[in-house]
Amino acid sequence: MELKVISDAAGAPGGGCASSGCGAGGEKLAHLPEAIRAKINNHPCFSDDAHHHYARMHVAVAPACNIQCHYCNRKYDCSNESRPGVVSEVLTPDQAVKKVVAVAAAIPQMTVLGIAGPGDPLANPQRTLETFRQLSEKAPDIKLCVSTNGLALPGLVDEICKHNIEHVTITINCVDPDVGAKIYPWIFWNNRRVTGRKAAEILIAQQQEGLEMLVARGVLVKVNSVLIPGVNAEHLKEVSRVVKAKGAFLHNVMPLIAEPEHGTFYGLMGQRGPTNEELSALQDACAGDMAMMRHCRQCRADAVGMLGEDRGDEFKLDKLSEQEIDYAAAMARRAEVHAAIEASRAAQRNASSETFVSIASLTRRRPTRPEPRRVLMAVATTGGGLINQHFGHAREFLVYEASANDVRFIGHRKVDLYCSGDETCGDGETVLAKTIRVLDGCEVVLCSRIGYEPWGQLEAAGIAPNGEHAMEPIEDAVAVVYREMGEAGLLERSGGTAHRMSA
Ligand code: CLF
Ligand code: SF4
């Protein structure tokens, strides 16, 4: 048995990583035609690997919504809150186009423009479609992407195709109206408000019809589902099965965000969100039916930058220069940057495809022993698919699972910033304690550097800090550490942790 490490997802000539659960990667996509792989190769949401290299941005041109979800409260001017529906400013289509052009020139890695709110983009069709129309003319190198609850979708499929929108996300939380009635108190339909089970029935029918129409026209459809414990948790397996059968490309099961301070029905009622384990288990269960997205950051409706970062403040309207941007020149520069990124990804793929980390010797030496256990490792990274971030600077950790068969990305965990300069140093211990709690279940933390104090506290908590693989590709480093754990006898089912290796 050997541990094979392939770092790329969509773009790998041989079919991407061997994982069954890594977003739009994995051997399940190997059968895809080249044209589809080309569509997702630099889309940070539709391809797991792309999210290490490329950025997305949203423009908040769609304030209205035609339904109510129990988990939603649209908020303005909350720069510290990162969740869907929150924005700092609603833009007109002209303002949005100006902003997109400015961001595209300043952040050449930005490949996708999405419209995702703060309401429902298709409940604001003129504003949404006018933005797309202008952008498809002015910035043809930017992919267009839209996210919708699906209620108005069937009537707008032709328009979506006309504007060359190749990626559509439909949020589908149920296919059973009885479940839907617990999530949606009302919809606005044919100029009147419809409530209860009937509302859910109409919404579900529209979503399913819209999905089928888009698939028939060759548009890539991702389905987002919000996991609401006790409401639709078990039911989402059926949702996954149904949307897969209808041709959805990818399923993104996201955790419910519900806090009383958000002012949502669920938040005020004390409805809890899922634990990391519940989310991961459900994603695994759904992955039996279709490719799963696990790297979603549930971003704001005006997010700008790599997934997990938000540079929106740099591009607020009052900061955009009046100077006209030469987009032809910007596009040439963007093409150069994209070519450099692709060259680097190809180099990483080649290096990784030569990295076969064998643990055969371990199993051969002990043929009667069971298969080595799986190990979770947390990684601090700023992108590029590399271990390149100081532990104290991480706002989130990517979590990978290593096993005898593969290394797979399984999700991310957000943390408070442990070290952000002198002012917060006094809080360091508290924040560190929280970080350690967030990393529960991980046995190793890989980062570029780490201070003495967190090192000691992580070790005391049974998590092995590891700064030996700085600037190395993530999956390769995880595989190497896993092999070392095996060689140290730490992978037997009842065995110890990586902490014992570094102690
Ligand atoms: Fe935006 Fe959504 Fe397009 Fe991505 S986000 S419209 S598909 S460009 Fe991505 Fe953000 Fe998750 Fe959405 S990480 S919330 S899945
Ligand atoms: Fe909020 Fe979106 Fe639901 Fe509308 S569809 S209520 S904007 S979450």
* CA 57 / ligand 1 centre spacing (Å): 9
484 alpha carbon, distance to own chain's centre: 30
* CA 164 / ligand 2 centre spacing (Å): 24
pLDDT at residue 359, rounded to an integer:
47
State whether the beta carbon of 72 lies less than 6 angstroms from ligand 2.
yes
Which residue, 403, 405, 411, 497, is CA-closest to 458? 497
Burial level of 96, CB count in 10 A (0-12/13-18/19+)?
buried
Task: Say if residues 248 and 223 touch (Cβ distance below 8 Å).
Answer: yes
* CA 299 / ligand 1 centre spacing (Å): 7
pLDDT at residue 493, rounded to an integer:
63
Angle at 18 between CA 15 and CA 23, to 5 degrees: 80
* For the CA of 293, the nearest ligand: 1
Task: Give pLDDT tens digits for 164-188.
Answer: 899 999 999 999 999 999 999 999 9
* CA 74 / ligand 2 centre spacing (Å): 8
pLDDT at residue 334, rounded to an integer:
96
pLDDT mean across residues, the chain: 84
State whether the beta carbon of 116 lies less than 6 angstroms from ligand 2.
no
Instruction: Please state, in angstroms and as integers, the Cα–Cα distance from residue 77 to each residue in 74, 89, 118, following that order.
Output: 10, 7, 12
250 alpha carbon, distance to own chain's centre: 12
Q: Six-digit token pair at 490?
A: 């730490």
* For the CA of 69, the nearest ligand: 2
Ligand 1 atom closest to the CA of 58, numbered from 1: 1
Ligand 2 atom closest to the CA of 71, numbered from 1: 8
pLDDT band at 22 (very low <50, low <70, confident <90, very high): very low
Which residue, 258, 255, 259, 256, is CA-closest to 280? 255
CA distance 12 to 27: 10
Instruction: Please state, in angstroms and as integers, the Cα–Cα distance from residue 320 to each residue in 100, 315, 364, following that order.
Output: 10, 6, 63
pLDDT at residue 365, rounded to an integer:
52
Which residue, 393, 428, 235, is CA-closest to 308? 393
pLDDT at residue 406, rounded to an integer:
85
DSSP state of 357: E
pLDDT at residue 31, rounded to an integer:
63
* For the CA of 166, the nearest ligand: 1
Report which protein residue has its CA nearest ligand 1's atom 11: 296
Task: Say if residues 459 and 502 touch (Cβ distance below 8 Å).
Answer: yes
Ligand 1 atom closest to the CA of 116, numbered from 1: 6
pLDDT at residue 73 greater than cutoff 90: no
Report which protein residue has its CA nearest ligand 2's atom 3: 69
Ligand 2 atom closest to the CA of 84, numbered from 1: 8
Q: How far apart are the first and last CA of the chain?
A: 29
Ligand 2 atom closest to the CA of 72, numbered from 1: 1
Among 31-45, 60-74, 348-362, the least confident range: 348-362
Report which protein residue has its CA nearest ligand 2's atom 6: 68
pTM for the model stands at 0.82
Ligand 2 atom closest to the CA of 66, numbered from 1: 4
State whether the beta carbon of 40 lies less than 6 angstroms from ligand 1.
no
User: Quick one: average pLDDT of 401-426?
Assistant: 72
pLDDT at residue 76, rounded to an integer:
56
Task: Say if residues 407 and 5 touch (Cβ distance below 8 Å).
Answer: yes
* For the CA of 167, the nearest ligand: 1
Could you give the percent of the chain with pLDDT greater than 90? 58
Among 15-19, 85-89, 375-379, 400-404, the least confident range: 15-19
Task: Give pLDDT tens digits for 270-292.
Answer: 999 999 899 999 999 998 757 88
pLDDT at residue 346 greater than cutoff 80: yes
State whether the beta carbon of 43 lies less than 6 angstroms from ligand 1.
no
Higher-confidence position of 356 and 384: 384
User: Quick one: average pLDDT of 11-36?
Assistant: 45
State whether the beta carbon of 121 lies less than 6 angstroms from ligand 2.
no
Task: Give pLDDT tens digits for 222-269.
Answer: 999 999 999 999 999 999 999 999 999 999 999 999 888 888 899 999
pLDDT at residue 237, rounded to an integer:
95
pLDDT at residue 477, rounded to an integer:
92
Ligand 2 atom closest to the CA of 148, numbered from 1: 5
pLDDT at residue 494, rounded to an integer:
57
pLDDT at residue 262, rounded to an integer:
83
